[in-house]
Amino acid sequence: MRRLFESIKIAFQSLVSNKLRAFLTMLGIIIGVGAVVAMMSIGTGAQESVINSVQDIGSNLIIVTPGNRQEQQQGFKQMLEDDRDKEALKVEDVKMIEKEAKLIKGAAPAVLSSSIITYLNKNTRASVYASSEKAEYIYNFEIEQGQFYTASDVQNSANVAVIGRTVINKLFGKIDPIGKIIKVDGKNFTVIGIIKSKGTDQFGNDQDNSISMPITTAQHKLYGIDYINMIIAQSTSENNMNQASNEVERILRRAHNLRTDEKNDFTVQNQTQLLDIVGTITNIFTITISSIAGISLLVGGIGIMNIMLVSVTERTREIGIRKAVGAKNKDILFQFLVESVVLSITGGILGILFAVAVSIILNRFTILKPTISAFPIILAITFSTMVGLFFGIYPAMRAARLNPIAALRYE
Amino acid sequence: MEENCKDNNCIIEIIDITKIYRIGKIEVKALRGANLKISGGEFVAIMGPSGSGKSTLMNIIGCLDTPDSGKFFLENIDVSKLNDNQLAEIRNKKIGFVFQTFNLLSRSDTVRNVELPLIYSARGAAGNRKTKIFDSLKSVGLIGWEKHKPSELSGGQRQRVAIARALVNDPAIILADEPTGNLDSVTGEEIMAIFQKLNREGKTILLVTHELDIARHANRIIYLRDGKIFREEKIDMPINALEMLEKMPKLEDKLN
Ligand SMILES: Nc1ncnc2c1ncn2[C@@H]1O[C@H](COP(=O)(O)OP(=O)(O)O)[C@@H](O)[C@H]1O
Ligand SMILES: [Mg+2]
């Protein structure tokens, strides 16, 4: 233990007495570790924000969209055929799910579009999310002021709407929008509530540039359609998402009178699957990062080996002196090994500090939100220690094997 | 038993040792059958012309090098049978080596240089260490110079640091290879005074020199020529370095 301490002290002395050289040697490790830790932090941050925004929509959600997603990916012919399926989902399907599914707490239909909104002489284009009163809790439409549309609004195709902050800023400025009459694609609507701000999603889209209204109003009075674009259902628990998905699939197949040999004309996805996709992307990212890490640590390691060989040659006489007063081969081996490990760990630590600095800067000045976790730091320290040991062992062995007399004669 | 080991107090015994250096095809026979016995507490000087094998012999006795043939007993241990680690152990505990060129660590101060052998020996706790360093610095008269680097010391002081380092583990034998070779005569005499003091305190001292004035401080002179011991001489009245220093002109006298 005392000898380890002694060796670390000697290693630091020789490091400090050759600051610039030590720094240049460590540069490979610093850059490698820094890049890896920074990239992993960016990745973790991105992953967290994707997960957050997936969960932002609501929790335990099952999403049904028209058309067979799997077939759509298979080719042009199916794409044409699937176009038929565009109208496959109806409001009745939602009612069926609500009535029959035991694992579903609630379900809401959605018509998604975009329309021109006008107030007095100002107008703007906004995303339309038309749904039922259930959307308020299933889709996380929090109402900040006023109220959400009710079941009877949906029943009666009432011309009422709730609008997002961006729309308000563009059309109303400082005026209170509640109770005002706006036009959506030329039709009059009364503003009854303000949707609480959700900010931008991970793709940079403004989620507040939106308007929501009863689905019946959108279908019959705005767009003249009888189909819907999406069903959002909420399972009773996050543990039965997949069973609930299967249940929804069974109910819809029956509702659509599909024979056993017919394929689904809809696609059921749940948040667990979405998060799995995020996981897959993260894994690809991690593999890429690991390869970069491997290469940069290799380069850094070769740099360390090189400088350690130089150091052994330069300090041949010192090695001779140490041996003359009783240092054993293993003492010399240990000293030089500790020195190369100190070099590589110091490089690793500087690399981590570099990554922390990069993360702080990115956090402040960009939309990226890097999250530094313990894992990449432990990984970085472990790997730089291993690099120091691996590339330090050969120079250290050369030092240890020096003949004391020859070493003392070395000029 | 020969004359010098009558009392069976033989600390070093060398029998028919040879050492050959090969540089390419050229063979240099540095030692060609050297025999030597030294008793504990002796002060022996080895003399001989340059290239006669003095350093080679010292390195073998100091366990820094191994002979090609012959036997070497140190405190009745057959050194030729020992491995690298055991030799390192002997260099650490039983022998203190002093070189002509001092061989100090240039980046370390006096204390760190003297401490060096202690780093490589298992015994001696930290507290004990400090007293050992202090004691050996005191016995070479270097108290007050603890924090100086070798470059901040004179030649004589550097050699005294080297002697303190050789003493710190309290070895039985001090080997000195031309310790005064790089020093002026007054400083050399001071170093000899230290060796004589150490010898009076019981250390066995083996000193290589090519100056008769230096050799005559010992009790016995061994003459080496062409890798063999060809003569030895007992000194009944060795020079007393302290008396010698009294008589020598002081630096101030020279300037006046
Ligand atoms: N490492 C070596 N390689 C080759 N020749 C050597 C080596 N060391 C010593 N010699 C040769 O061995 C002979 C004895 O050298 P050495 O013991 O140093 O003599 P001294 O110390 O008496 O001057 C010399 O001829 C010298 O050149
Ligand atoms: Mg010599």
Which pLDDT tens digit goes with each residue over B153-188?
A: 999 999 999 999 999 999 999 999 999 999 999 999
Cα of A320 vs centre of ligand 2, distance in Å, is: 16
Min Cα–Cα distance to chain A from B3, Å: 32
Check if the beta carbon of residue A166 is closer than 8 Å to that of residue A208.
yes
Contacts of A3 in chain B (CB under 8 A): 119
CA distance A266 to B243: 114
Q: What is the mean pLDDT of residues A94-106?
A: 89
- What pLDDT does A373 receive? 84
Strands (E), A56-147: 61-66, 104-119, 122-131, 143-146
User: Which residue has the least CA distance to atom 12 on ligand 1?
Assistant: B30
ipTM > 0.90 for the complex: yes
pLDDT at A261 over 90: no
3-state secondary structure of A9: helix
CA distance A131 to A162: 11
Tokens standing for B147? Answer: 């924090």
Stretch among A10-19, A324-333, A381-390 having the lowest mean pLDDT: A10-19
Question: Residue for token digits 């260099």?
Answer: B91
**Any A CB within 8 A of B19 CB:** no
When comparing pLDDT for A24 and B208, which is higher?
B208
- What pLDDT does B2 receive? 44
Q: What is the CA radius of gyration of chain B?
A: 18
From the list A359, A390, A409, A303, the residue with the least C-alpha distance to A30 is A303
CB spacing of A325 vs B105 below 8 angstroms: no
Report the nearest atom of ligand 1 relative to the CA of B57.
17
- What pLDDT does A12 receive? 83
Tokens standing for B35? Answer: 């025999």
When comparing pLDDT for A54 and B93, which is higher?
B93
- What pLDDT does A207 receive? 83
Among B85, B91, B109, B151, the residue to mutate for chain A (most A Cβ within 10 A): B91
Check if the beta carbon of residue A163 is closer than 8 Å to that of residue A195.
yes
Report the nearest atom of ligand 1 relative to the CA of A406.
1
CA distance A23 to A126: 55
Q: What is the mean pLDDT of residues A264-288?
A: 80
Cα of A53 vs centre of ligand 2, distance in Å, is: 81
- Digit-coded pLDDT (tens) for A305-321: 999 999 999 999 999 99
CB spacing of A325 vs B93 below 8 angstroms: no
Q: What is the mean pLDDT of residues A120-139?
A: 88
From the list B156, B173, B211, the residue with the least C-alpha distance to B39 is B173
Min Cα–Cα distance to chain B from A28, Å: 28
Interface of A with B (CB under 8 A): 2-3, 6, 13-14, 17, 317-318, 320-331, 404-405, 408
- Ligand 1 pocket by C-beta < 6 Å: which residues? B 21, 23, 28, 30, 48, 50-56
- What pLDDT does B160 receive? 96
When comparing pLDDT for B158 and A141, which is higher?
B158
Q: Is the pTM higher than 0.80?
A: no
3-state secondary structure of A322: helix
CA distance B72 to B37: 10
Res. B3 pLDDT band, cuts 50 70 90: very low
- Digit-coded pLDDT (tens) for B212-248: 999 999 999 999 999 999 999 999 999 999 999 988 8
